[in-house]
Structure 1
């Protein structure tokens, strides 16, 4: 009896302690007994409220139009006073990489070992500029010289002097001469006045297509240099384009400056660039899947269901994270992008990319405002035409792999990570499918002992091989988008 009473007393005592140490229930802002709401809540169209507090000033009182701008002030330093600029170029890939690094003070031909870095020091010199450029202007004319050739290597672009646009692509190494034409268009954004869905931040609903013609009074500026040639074009007051053709590469690089787009006519605009070829693509094009394998897309078609086409343009647009390409029985045309955009092939033989959008109506999908950003691009769009004289010195090189080894061209290094328990996680991937390329789709081997420069990893590999736990001194990768995982 005494034991039961003692247990009951202890239970009551523990319950009393629990009530004392138990935290009080949370008090929700705006609820009875809770703290008051001290800032305005922004309610969305679906009834929800934003979970954070927005701050700023009204649009009519804003003094600055540029909201976000990024720059690197050390690269703009005047080096004439004896200062030096140190540039470290890192290569995360499993192959040796050579590329052009453009800085406001100079141009660097960088060569970086696999899984390593190279350090350059840029300083001023009184020697003649080795990277000086020649400048030429070509006016649009209906008569006279036609066919402006740009490029000093295997790749050449031919521009039409009468139209001011690229007209031919020539690759002397592969004996390819193809007709190509670049143009700019814009889609008029639907305003939703008839009660249907408006085009906005989340909704692409074009209401007509309109061409953007090149201004004939603006000449083409061509810069010829020892590393690459540049073509500067002012398409119209809101579109400026720089095309670079490198001496030792077989692709062209295009840099766009688009905006601010005018809307005095009360029409929102979504600007695209298009490349037109003579290829017979048969409604088929290919777009990457989140930067990985390329997927086949067929216009106005879905493999899993019968598609009813109500939006022939928007219904065939897809996100492009890495690239988009066309091909037929004889040739292939590819776009690689440096950021995620929208893209499609609305007409056979033609690719297009969405470059910029400015719309005047809210699409009712949550942001509660139109996609009408007013960030302005500076007027100085000359690119790297006023390079200062400089000298580049390579001072150090480091590689995470054996200096005498690089991965095969068709194998990518996805992961190389040292885990907490000291083990090494390695992930490799074959980049090509069967039949995709006659040379690169073949089976290949990776020599793991040469893949690592660290002695610790090499010692672990030697130990595993000696004990015959695994035998992967030369591991063969299969082809169909294979992945190879190794935990050492």
Structure 2
């Protein structure tokens, strides 16, 4: 009701006062809020909100929009009751309007949809709880992310938004849209959801998010204010009016309606809101005799692809940030798993204990807020200054260790043992206390580093499965496997001794660990895990002797082969060429498919500028100085070794490309995929060449220039080399201009065969020739791309040299018709892998053994095509449940079909009395919202 509808026969120019407050970028979140570290930038969000509220209160005609709830919620908590009541009045009057409403303005390339939903929910529910339904944002406002995802549009539509506005799109795309009057359109965000469920009206801002030239009135701006005293020589009213009308006419030529928007504000502006509002008042007063404009009827165009990749000029493709700071990207993904586990276990604990849940006081809020900040478009994107990236990681660490791990611990303390009666609790109280170190989480399991497991003679591994379906997962635990020791693993629920295998620590791991830890083996066993529950395993180390030879644990040995190598299991066979050291071919045993697969690790030389353009590679920009990459191995050959001996569970091949680039290729017994673990760093730069490291797969698949990438972990989009679906591309960068964000998977295919590579974090990827795929895994650059961060992307590691990063790719080779089933299910398992804390057995006895057995928290496991995305609790103690069908419309003949799930029999110890369907953001009942129909 507060909207100014304008006049039908005039050009209506909507003045939108706003501030864009990055939740960290050049300064940390705290520094931006308080205005600290002014040597980098003068910006203080607390002062912005202080003065904006004051100026809105002065004049009832003034309005303002605000976005970042991470900042606003902090400011709100600091205000007295009088100020809070005034803000509530402004919100009710529609003069202080919240748009977007997320904890941050999230990135759209490197973010997973699960984390996007969570960070939006955190902000939206704060607004709803604080101000009521009048504060519910109707407009999404993604003015600064560097490219835009179709899945993001789908999520916004399902959150009840009526429209989306953003500021950045490819310069060639923008020129085309301005000419064809396509600055506004309907974005069809999903190929699977029924229209218009995922349709979103989308508008592109003419000036990004800045005011037109000459009309910036912030204290940091150099534009003249409006000087309107007619007795003064410097009176500039006529010039300002003429300039504004000229800018309005110019902008109006690019839009189909007689309504245009002028964004009046920019980065961290309005710290002196009085200057802005005073000049805007004058501007509107003097311009409001605007020219007449004829209205017309029109049809909106419909877009079904996305806005990647983004370039703001020739040779300036913002595709480097798809991979920048791979360590942080991996940590964000891992922390999301901890948050989901934390949500689940808090809910289970509250249901079992009868305690009321409260989201505001929940310990998981620390991690929830840290994850919300981490989704910001300068956080997980990797485009902040180094000290800010460190701050993002620190916040996640605090959330993980002080919250997520404690939640798991407290579930053991307060929940699992409640069913054991008083006796059990009495026993537990003497051995488990708050902050106890009995339950141990090891941060560095990915590099075989865990002092607890290495030095313990007996302990219990409690393996928690956050998926709502049963899975079997191989567990790898660092141990000391000197010849005098043997190991036994017992599944406690059955008492069965499990098959185990000892795998020597690889040269790659030793190069990463250096002087930390000395575990020389990983103990491998298969854990069968119930749906949304845990299984427990006793692990005991024995001194070898004549009396316990029957306990022998097979241990392999790494040797250099004299011939080609083939490893295989029931599903795959992988061949390696002894001479080159590279993967040579893959066979899918079930389908009979055999294709050559040549996989190599290479690097592009990051450009420092050349005759075509002075543009350099940097945190944002990917610009190789040549389309031909270099080999990570100096002579083009790779040192090859293989695990020999009795290998009942896993076979491994080790590749050393150089002292800073390694791979391990694995096949596990009974597992339908190939695992490739890559270790890269410290990337050498003494030659003064910045390097962008890729993993490339070359096959004989006739992909004909087409390849496929996912959007934020959900639906998949078709890509084509040197092509954009809605405008004609003038390609200036044949490599960087064909890179796309790969959040979870990329694949190529022909009429029959498909090769899919899944990732454990967001990366940039492409197919630059038929049958080839490549993924950028790491980058270290000496130049600076002049996009604002003002420092090279030159991360250092713990030992002072370049950052070392380790990650995984999972390979699937199958028929086109069978591939979706495999990559959808594997993607879910990789994203929500088990959590494995360890418990000392020094206090273990028969009474307690009963409670470390297998346990599931749901009544009926979900079918494989349904994913339990969210199991959490609200402020009022209700359960917030999100179920998603994770197969797209045409993925699979069977698994893409509709499925019926009973909520009544889903969660144990929970009686369903009322079910309300909410918007995806959880902030309003779905049946009360009527989105605008376009």
TM over 0.5: yes
Match of 1:158 in 2: 575
Match of 2:883 in 1: 428
2:534 to 117, 134, 154: 117
Alignment of 1:247-258 (within 5 A): 247-258=669-680
Match of 2:911 in 1: 456
Match of 2:725 in 1: 303
Structure 2: distance between partners of 1:373 and 1:213: 19
Q: Residues 81 and 429 (structure 1 numbering): CA distance in 2 closer, same or farther, change over 3 Å?
A: closer
1:76 to 429, 451, 454: 451
Structure 1: distance between partners of 2:574 and 2:897: 32
Structure 2: distance between partners of 1:109 and 1:39: 51
Q: Residues 70 and 80 (structure 1 numbering): CA distance in 2 closer, same or farther, change over 3 Å?
A: closer
Is the Cα contact below 8 Å between 2:468 and 2:531 reproduced in 1?
yes
User: Any idea what the Cα deviations from partners look like across 1:375-406, whole Å, max 9, x if unmatched?
Assistant: 24899x9xxxxxxxxx9x9932221211xx32
Q: Alignment partner of 2:450: what SS?
A: helix
Q: Residues 275 and 249 (structure 1 numbering): CA distance in 2 closer, same or farther, change over 3 Å?
A: same
Query: Displacement, 1:219?
Result: 3.8
Q: Alignment partner of 2:853: what SS?
A: strand
Q: Residues 246 and 54 (structure 1 numbering): CA distance in 2 closer, same or farther, change over 3 Å?
A: closer
Is residue 317 of structure 1 aligned with residue 739 of structure 2?
Answer: yes
Query: Displacement, 1:136?
Result: 5.0
1:396 to 853, 861, 864: 853
Query: Displacement, 1:155?
Result: 1.4
Structure 1: distance between partners of 2:727 and 2:37: 49
Q: Residues 85 and 169 (structure 1 numbering): CA distance in 2 closer, same or farther, change over 3 Å?
A: same
Match of 1:171 in 2: 588
Is the Cα contact below 8 Å between 2:640 and 2:653 reproduced in 1?
no
Alignment of 1:4-23 (within 5 A): none
Query: Displacement, 1:74?
Result: 8.9
Structure 1: distance between partners of 2:385 and 2:622: 29
Structure 1: distance between partners of 2:786 and 2:655: 38
Query: Displacement, 1:355?
Result: 1.3
Match of 1:407 in 2: 862
2:899 to 438, 444, 449: 444
- The gaps in structure 1 that reach 5 residues or longer are 1-36, 57-68, 382-390, 471-484
Is the Cα contact below 8 Å between 1:139 and 1:217 reproduced in 2?
no
- TM-score (norm. length: structure 1): 0.72
Is the Cα contact below 8 Å between 2:796 and 2:802 reproduced in 1?
no
Query: Displacement, 1:424?
Result: 3.4
Structure 2: distance between partners of 1:411 and 1:219: 41
Match of 1:210 in 2: 629
- The gaps in structure 2 that reach 5 residues or longer are 1-34, 43-219, 222-266, 272-383, 389-441, 480-522, 807-840, 842-848, 918-925, 928-934
1:41 to 39, 42, 50: 39
Q: Residues 39 and 258 (structure 1 numbering): CA distance in 2 closer, same or farther, change over 3 Å?
A: closer
Q: Residues 377 and 109 (structure 1 numbering): CA distance in 2 closer, same or farther, change over 3 Å?
A: farther
Structure 1: distance between partners of 2:888 and 2:728: 28
Is the Cα contact below 8 Å between 1:74 and 1:85 reproduced in 2?
no
Q: Alignment partner of 2:737: what SS?
A: helix
Q: Residues 188 and 395 (structure 1 numbering): CA distance in 2 closer, same or farther, change over 3 Å?
A: same
Query: Displacement, 1:222?
Result: 2.8
Q: Residues 134 and 306 (structure 1 numbering): CA distance in 2 closer, same or farther, change over 3 Å?
A: same
Match of 2:617 in 1: 199
Match of 2:474 in 1: 100
Structure 2: distance between partners of 1:153 and 1:287: 28
Is residue 417 of structure 1 aligned with residue 872 of structure 2?
Answer: yes
- TM-score (norm. length: structure 2): 0.39
Q: Residues 425 and 183 (structure 1 numbering): CA distance in 2 closer, same or farther, change over 3 Å?
A: same
User: Any idea what the Cα deviations from partners look like across 1:91-131, whole Å, max 9, x if unmatched?
Assistant: 22111011012121222322221111223332212445654
Match of 1:236 in 2: 658
Q: Residues 166 and 39 (structure 1 numbering): CA distance in 2 closer, same or farther, change over 3 Å?
A: closer
Structure 1: distance between partners of 2:674 and 2:638: 25
Query: Which is further off, 363-372 or 447-456?
Result: 447-456
Structure 2: distance between partners of 1:330 and 1:190: 39
User: Any idea what the Cα deviations from partners look like across 1:334-365, whole Å, max 9, x if unmatched?
Assistant: 11111111111111211111011111111112
Q: Residues 200 and 213 (structure 1 numbering): CA distance in 2 closer, same or farther, change over 3 Å?
A: closer
Q: Alignment partner of 2:852: what SS?
A: strand
Q: Alignment partner of 2:761: what SS?
A: coil
Match of 1:189 in 2: 606
Is residue 221 of structure 1 aligned with residue 634 of structure 2?
Answer: no
Is the Cα contact below 8 Å between 2:683 and 2:803 reproduced in 1?
no
What RMSD, in angstroms, separates the aligned Cα atoms of the two structures?
Answer: 3.7
Q: Alignment partner of 1:77: what SS?
A: helix
Q: Name whichever structure is richer in strand by fraction.
A: 1
Match of 1:478 in 2: none
Is residue 90 of structure 1 aligned with residue 508 of structure 2?
Answer: no
Q: Residues 133 and 377 (structure 1 numbering): CA distance in 2 closer, same or farther, change over 3 Å?
A: farther
Structure 2: distance between partners of 1:54 and 1:246: 38
Is the Cα contact below 8 Å between 2:782 and 2:794 reproduced in 1?
yes
Match of 1:31 in 2: none
Query: Displacement, 1:54?
Result: 9.6
Structure 1: distance between partners of 2:802 and 2:685: 16
Q: Alignment partner of 2:475: what SS?
A: strand
Q: Alignment partner of 2:893: what SS?
A: coil
Is the Cα contact below 8 Å between 1:244 and 1:252 reproduced in 2?
yes
Query: Which is further off, 211-220 or 119-128?
Result: 211-220
Query: Which is further off, 433-442 or 294-303?
Result: 433-442
2:787 to 361, 365, 381: 365
